[in-house]
Structure 1
Amino acid sequence: MSRFDGYFLRQLLILFGFFTLVLVGVFWITRSVSLFDRVISGGQSAMVFLEFTALTLPTLIRTVMPMAVFAAAVYATNRLSRESEMTVMLATGSSPWRLARAVFVFGILTGLMMAAISVFLRPASVEQLEQRQAEVAGDVTAQLLNEGEFLHPAQGVTVYIGEIALDGTLSEVFVSDRRDETNPVSYSSKTAYLVNSGTGIHLVMVDGIALRLNQEGRTLSSTLFQDASYDISDLTNSDTITRRSLEAIPTFALLEDREAIKENEYYTEGELIDELHQRFSWIAICVAVAMAGFSTLMLGSFSRFGLWPQIFGAFVILVLLEGVRGFVSPVVIDDPDLWFLLYLPAIIGILISCLFLLIAGRPLVRRRRGANGTLSQA
């Protein structure tokens, strides 16, 4: 690799890191607002929010990486062209194919990063995230211990807690159980405590009243009590998930144990094949968008104002490739034998890049000019 290639590659990698951080930050802020509200309002600590955020980062990085690769290739090429460095290299005899070598190496390096994220890190993080979400969903404190809110931990059950003291005492507690439609019952007490006994979790209410409505006799009975125990064990969802999402299935399992996955988790062959090849197609798309961004800008000539028409054209190509990716996925799910279509966006991007580099070299124009010169001398 020549000195210029090394210089160009360093520029690409620096800009790639910058755009990745910016895009991840923007997407993270957008998603974390709803995640923070959902986690904190569910009674969880800030550490749980940070844990969930860390587990979503591989998915977020995979989403923004192709855009960061494309932006780095376009920005670096435009800057080198605007500062005449690209013009000087072309004037010294370097062809667009020769200058594309650093971009191709850049695409390979980012593709390897994408391979580590898409094939290994993302499935592991999604699996861990789903397990933690199931644990949080089964945590009684996440479902019941929220001050000043009417909560519905189960169908037909409403719970209200006015205040939670630092020692765990619950004040102004109201519980309405309408699961038995013929005899709904409501409890109200000044104070209550959560007690985890060997038989389950109980809400022990002190100094309260129980109201029971008899639908058949149309009568309402009330009972004052000094203490009453209400079993809330069945209101918590502590069962672990039995069916993983497609994103949480390890890549090696998709390669070797598809039959077992189809039998136990009820996924179709098309869904499994689509998920498997999607992970590898993300690797190829990094090379394609890097080459497409560079080659499109090579079509323009030197200008102090930049290559804005070519930049717009490169963006249109990026949107086109993303559209093709969204189109072929349902086709593969319906017919797994057409799995190779998932690599069609990358193939199209590389073919467009080769065509643009061929045009940028202008061999036909040079040949025509040479022929015209010979004829005029004759």
Structure 2
Amino acid sequence: MSRFDRYLLSQLLALFGFFSLVLVAVYWVNRAVGLFDQLIGDGQSAVVFLQFSLLTLPNVIRLVLPISAFIGAVYVANRLMSESELVVMQATGFSAFRLARPVWYFGLIVTGMMLVLMHVLVPESRSALAERSEAISQNVSARFLKDGQFIHPSDGITLYIREIAPTGELLDLFLADDRVVEQRALYTAKKAFFARTDAGPKLLMVDGMVQLLGPKGQLSVTRFADFTYDLAGLMAAPALRTRSMAELSTPELLAPTPALMAEVQQTEASMLFEGHDRIAQPFMALSAALIGFSSLLLGAFSRFGLWRQVGVAVLLLLLVQAIATVSTSVGEDVPRGWMLAYVAPVVGIAIGVFELWLTQRPRRVPKLAVLDTVAT
């Protein structure tokens, strides 16, 4: 790699890293606000919030990398053009394709990062996130219990707990069961525990009493040293968790079996498209970098900047993204639609190469400018 290639590649990677950090922080904060309200509002700790935040990062980074590659390429090209560095290199005989060689290296590096994310980190993080979410949803104390408040986990049930100890003990519990018509049951206990058994969740109460109020007003009181209350009526039994298509590995998506399609409830066409999309989507970073860099090479040096070329680059990137969106909506529903997953990256790379070729063509000089030169 020549000195110029190393210099331009270092500039691209430095700005790519900076913009990636900024965009990831923006995306993460945007999602973390809603996640924080949801988890902390359900009684979860800050550790759980941190776990969920870390598990969502791979998918956020996957979305950000192509945008960062595009912004980095545009920024570097604009700065080098404004400082006449690229103009000098072109004057020494460098063609547009030679100038873009470090951009190819840069795009392939980002593509490699996205390949690791798409095939390894994102599926693993989504699987871990789904398992953690299921564990949280089955945590009875987190979903239904709040100390110092009267809560109603089900129709006809009122529950009050004075304090939830750090060990998980429920101190000074009160439970009113009005589900039976014309009969009311009141349970009080100094301590209680939740236990999950094969028959369903149970509430173990210690040192308390049961007061039953009959339809005619008769009251019966029973004291107990320990008592088990069945919570099966309060909570639905957890269903067996099935994986989503995003959690499957790429080999599973590329060779779907009938059992796997039934598990994720997806068609063979949609699973094949998802598998090939994981292969094709990383190359969107390469196409974005090429479009950003080659679009600015179309413009000549100007003291007012290359804002017109920047606008063209943005419009071309939006066009490629629109093609990707249409390909996804169509490719998931038709046989052999997986081939459409490669359309957007190929079109993006072709646009970048075409722009590089376009810069090689001699530009026409307006007649007025020629006359002015002759007169001078």
Instruction: Go from structure 1 to structure 2 and tell me whether the alpha carbon gap of 1:220 and 1:110 turns closer, same or farther (over 3 Å shift).
Output: farther
Shift of 1:255: 2.2
Shift of 1:265: 3.4
Shift of 1:18: 1.0
Structure 2 residue 266 is matched with structure 1 residue 267: yes
Instruction: Go from structure 1 to structure 2 and tell me whether the alpha carbon gap of 1:2 and 1:166 turns closer, same or farther (over 3 Å shift).
Output: closer
Shift of 1:45: 2.2
Higher mean C-alpha displacement, 320-329 vs 67-76: 320-329
State how far apart, in whole Å, the 2-side matches of 1:115 and 1:46 are: 32
Alpha carbons 1:273, 1:336 under 8 Å: kept: no
Higher mean C-alpha displacement, 137-146 vs 187-196: 187-196
Match of 2:95 in 1: 95
Structure 2 residue 203 is matched with structure 1 residue 202: yes
Alpha carbons 2:256, 2:268 under 8 Å: kept: no
State how far apart, in whole Å, the 1-side matches of 2:261 and 2:112 are: 30
Match of 1:303 in 2: 302
State how far apart, in whole Å, the 2-side matches of 1:213 and 1:279 are: 65
State how far apart, in whole Å, the 1-side matches of 2:312 and 2:151 are: 52
Shift of 1:239: 3.6
State how far apart, in whole Å, the 2-side matches of 1:46 and 1:28 are: 16
Alpha carbons 1:5, 1:102 under 8 Å: kept: yes
Match of 1:355 in 2: 354
Determine helix, strand or coil for the equivalent of 1:363.
coil
Letter of the 1:140 counterpart? V
Match of 1:252 in 2: 251
Match of 2:81 in 1: 81
Shift of 1:241: 4.2
Alpha carbons 2:27, 2:60 under 8 Å: kept: yes
1:110-136 Cα offsets, whole Å, 9 max, x none, are 101100100111111111111111111
Alpha carbons 2:56, 2:125 under 8 Å: kept: yes
1:134-189 Cα offsets, whole Å, 9 max, x none, are 111111222222235665656776655454355655467565667x6857857474
Higher mean C-alpha displacement, 245-254 vs 41-50: 41-50
Q: TM-score, normalised by structure 1?
A: 0.84
Letter of the 1:343 counterpart? Y
Shift of 1:65: 0.9
Alpha carbons 1:134, 1:241 under 8 Å: kept: no
Q: TM-score, normalised by structure 2?
A: 0.84
Match of 1:140 in 2: 140
Match of 1:119 in 2: 119
Higher mean C-alpha displacement, 277-286 vs 4-13: 277-286
Q: How does 1:231-250 map to 2 (within 5 A)?
A: 231-233=230-232, 235-236=234-235, 239=238, 241-250=240-249
Instruction: Go from structure 1 to structure 2 and tell me whether the alpha carbon gap of 1:338 and 1:147 turns closer, same or farther (over 3 Å shift).
Output: same
State how far apart, in whole Å, the 2-side matches of 1:330 and 1:304 are: 44
Corresponding pairs, count: 366
Determine helix, strand or coil for the equivalent of 1:102.
helix
Shift of 1:287: 0.9
Structure 2 residue 314 is matched with structure 1 residue 315: yes
State how far apart, in whole Å, the 2-side matches of 1:292 and 1:224 are: 80
State how far apart, in whole Å, the 1-side matches of 2:133 and 2:143 are: 13
Kindly report the root-mean-square deviation, in angstroms, between the aligned alpha carbons of the 2 structures: 3.3
Determine helix, strand or coil for the equivalent of 1:334.
coil
Determine helix, strand or coil for the equivalent of 2:147.
coil
Higher mean C-alpha displacement, 69-78 vs 223-232: 223-232
Letter of the 2:339 counterpart? F
1:37-88 Cα offsets, whole Å, 9 max, x none, are 2222223222222222221111111011111111111111111111211111
State how far apart, in whole Å, the 1-side matches of 2:196 and 2:109 are: 56
State how far apart, in whole Å, the 2-side matches of 1:226 and 1:168 are: 24
State how far apart, in whole Å, the 2-side matches of 1:211 and 1:100 are: 83
1:196-231 Cα offsets, whole Å, 9 max, x none, are 3866521538767767797xxxx8876656566432
Unpaired stretches in structure 2, ≥5 consecutive residues:
none
Match of 1:43 in 2: 43
State how far apart, in whole Å, the 2-side matches of 1:150 and 1:83 are: 69
Unpaired stretches in structure 1, ≥5 consecutive residues:
none
